[in-house]
Amino acid sequence: MSVVALIGGQWGDEGKGKVIDSLAGKAKMVIRFSGGDNAGHTAINPYGEFKLHLIPSGVFHPHVICIIGNGVAVNPAVLLKEIEELRGRGVEVNNLLVSDRAHLVMPYHTLLDGLEEERRGKGALGTTRRGIGPAFADKVARIGIRTGDLLDKDAFYRQLNSTLEFKNAILAKLYGHPPLSLEEIFHQYCRYAEQLAPFIRETETTIHQALAKGESILLEGAQGTLLDPDFGTYPYVTSSSPLVGGGSQGTGIGPMEISRAVGVFKAYITRVGGGPMPTELKDDVGELIREKAKEYGTTTGRPRRCGWFDAVAGRLSVQVNSLSDIALTHLDIFDGFPSVRICTAYRLDNKTVDYFPSNATALERCQPVYEELPGWQESIADTRDLESLPQQARRYVARIEDLLSCPISFIAVGPAREQVVEVKPILP
């Protein structure tokens, strides 16, 4: 039996979509377990190039059952558009299920996400404004509405009525915003309900039947460890757990069932949105990485901040996720670099530290301590085995393994499905 959790090891956009698309051929089920359409997962395969926000990246393999788990916040308009787009481009979406426990992103969530960001002014978090924070806040405040609630129109109306009264009061009193119409939202969501009803169900039984049969299941994370509300750069974080632990909670699979935990890391690091980033490069090298790797947000189009690989942050990721393996992506971006750097420690207030401070202000003061390694001049885009990688690239890979105390089992050398060096098979 094999349940493999695959999570972002950095600040998101590590290439999770690509890795899942590459691995899913051997899986029976892929379950997205956290976040919402703040995520943007790219897959490039024989169907073309796709940017998925909610549907698991296993969808391109017709035999794979794709589940949007209970831990995801679902914007039904985005989900329907995604289904339509996939179908329009020849991808079947017959094996999709949506957990009836997954919370809904409502129009007041997206509106409030934007208004809250405006109110923060200079201290804005740089959210994706997709309503994800407000939707998860309602979940824990116990005023959320779930996909399953859409299936009982009368109950849904009563729930919406009571929540909207409260939200409209906030909109009016705090933001001077006109109220949202109960009838409009109700009818709009009833239309979504009709279209989504065939997908919405109690998914635990299906998942546990697959577990009982010993089938291979991939848990697809969103965002990345450094955006976790507990272990990330709080408050510059997202609102659901991108960790392997979130993979258990967001699917209903107990932690003891997870046999492998794979952290996806870029060979460098990127961040989109506000918050500290010790190895950020605000120079030509940062610009070169951004342009070469097209580092612009999949969801918002914002330029991503780029920097050298941060092994201090990486070690935290390995620890809080108990990673068994690393999938290292974007190694090809360093082709032609005279040398590459890895941050091995920070200088903080005249001391050298080897841990990732919990406090964002302390992290802002951290100066990276770098180790420099020789680069390689040849293209690795067509390399498919470890031995054929240039010796300097292998040395770089080995140094990251060493600093993070975790084996690198998978190396991506380009964005397409087949551009992979499989060091050790992740799925049997």
- Select the residue interacting with ligand IMO from 78, 80, 93, 126 (CB under 6 A): 126
Note whether 263 binds ligand GDP by CB under 6 A: no
239 binds, options ligand GDP, ligand IMO, Mg ion, none, Cβ within 5 to 8 A by partner type = ligand IMO
| 260-266 and 2-8 beta bridge pairing | parallel
Q: Are 113 and 141 in contact (CB under 8 A)?
A: no
Q: Does 71 bind ligand IMO (CB under 6 A)?
A: no
With CB under 6 A as the contact rule, which of the stretches 126-134, 170-178, 238-246, 329-337 interacts with ligand GDP? 329-337
Interaction between residue 341 and ligand GDP (CB under 6 A): no
**CB nearer to ligand GDP: pick between 148 and 221:** 221
For residue 41, the minimal CB distance to Mg ion (Å) is: 6
17 is a site residue for ligand GDP (CB under 6 A): yes
- Note whether 223 binds ligand IMO by CB under 6 A: yes
346 token code pair: 């920070």
Pairing of strands 65-68, 408-412: unpaired
Site string for Mg ion, 151-190 (x = CB under 5 A): ----------------------------------------
- Measuring CA to CA, how many Å separate 222 from each of 36, 230, 327? 8, 16, 15
Contact 16, 221 (CB under 8 A): yes
**Separation between Cα atoms, residue 421 and residue 1, nearest integer Å:** 24
Nearer to ligand IMO, 228 or 332 (CB): 228
Given candidates 34, 42, 317, 344, which one binds ligand GDP under the rule CB under 6 A?
A: 42
Q: Does 132 bind ligand IMO (CB under 6 A)?
A: yes
Q: Which residue has the tokens 């272990």?
A: 231
Count of residues touching ligand GDP (by CB under 6 A) = 23
Are 319 and 228 in contact, with CB atoms under 8 Å apart? Answer: no
The residue assigned the tokens 């941060």 is 310
- 221 counts as binding ligand GDP under rule CB under 6 A: no
CA 76 – CA 213 distance, rounded (Å): 32
CB-CB contact of 13 with 53 (8 Å): no
Task: Tell whether residue 14 is a contact of ligand GDP (CB under 6 A).
Answer: yes
| Interface pattern 271-300 for Mg ion (x via CB under 5 A) | ---------------------------x--
* 73-74 vs 48-52, strand pairing mode: unpaired
**Per CB under 6 A, does 357 bind ligand IMO?**
no
Considering CB distances under 5 to 8 angstroms, the limit depending on partner class, which of Mg ion, ligand IMO, ligand GDP, none binds residue 238? ligand IMO
Q: Give the C-alpha separation, 318 to 328, whole Å.
A: 13
Q: How far apart are CA 203 and CA 323, in angstroms?
A: 26
Residue 238 in contact with ligand IMO, rule: CB under 6 A: yes
3-state class (DSSP) for residue 217: strand
Length of the chain: 428
Rule CB under 6 A: choose which of 217, 269, 333, 408 binds ligand GDP: 333
Distance from C-alpha of 303 to C-alpha of 309, rounded to nearest angstrom: 18
Q: Nearest-CB residue to ligand IMO?
A: 273
Based on the shown chain and the rule CB under 6 A, indicate whether residue 41 belongs to the binding site for ligand GDP. yes
Residue closer to ligand IMO (CB basis): 34 or 45: 34
Q: How many residues bind ligand IMO (CB under 6 A)?
A: 25
Q: Both tokens of residue 333?
A: 């971006």
Does residue 82 belong to the site contacting ligand GDP (CB under 6 A)?
no
Does residue number 222 form part of the binding site for ligand IMO (CB under 6 A)? Answer: yes
Residue 128's binding partner among ligand GDP, ligand IMO, Mg ion, none (Cβ under 5 to 8 angstroms by kind) is: ligand IMO
Interaction between residue 138 and ligand IMO (CB under 6 A): no
Q: Which residue has the tokens 């995801």?
A: 72
Q: Which does 106 bind (CB under 5 to 8 A by kind): Mg ion, ligand IMO, ligand GDP, none?
A: none
Distance CA 33, CA 248 (A): 8
The option from ligand GDP, ligand IMO, Mg ion, none interacting with 332 (CB < 5 to 8 A, set by class) reads ligand GDP
18, 101, 129, 167: which one binds ligand GDP (CB under 6 A): 18
Q: How far apart are CA 296 and CA 304, in angstroms?
A: 5
Catalytic residues, by residue number, are 13, 41
From residue 54, alpha-carbon distances to 65, 210, 221 in Å are 14, 22, 11
39 counts as binding ligand IMO under rule CB under 6 A: yes
In terms of Cβ atoms closer than 10 Å to its own Cβ (0-12, 13-18, 19+), residue 108 is buried
Residue 193 belongs to what H/E stretch?
A: helix 182-196
Query: 19, 219 in Cβ contact below 8 A?
Result: no
Instruction: Specify whether the CB–CB gap between 24 and 64 falls below 8 A.
Output: yes
Applying CB under 6 A, which residues contact ligand IMO?
8, 11-13, 35, 38-41, 125-128, 130, 132-133, 222-224, 227, 238-239, 272-273, 298
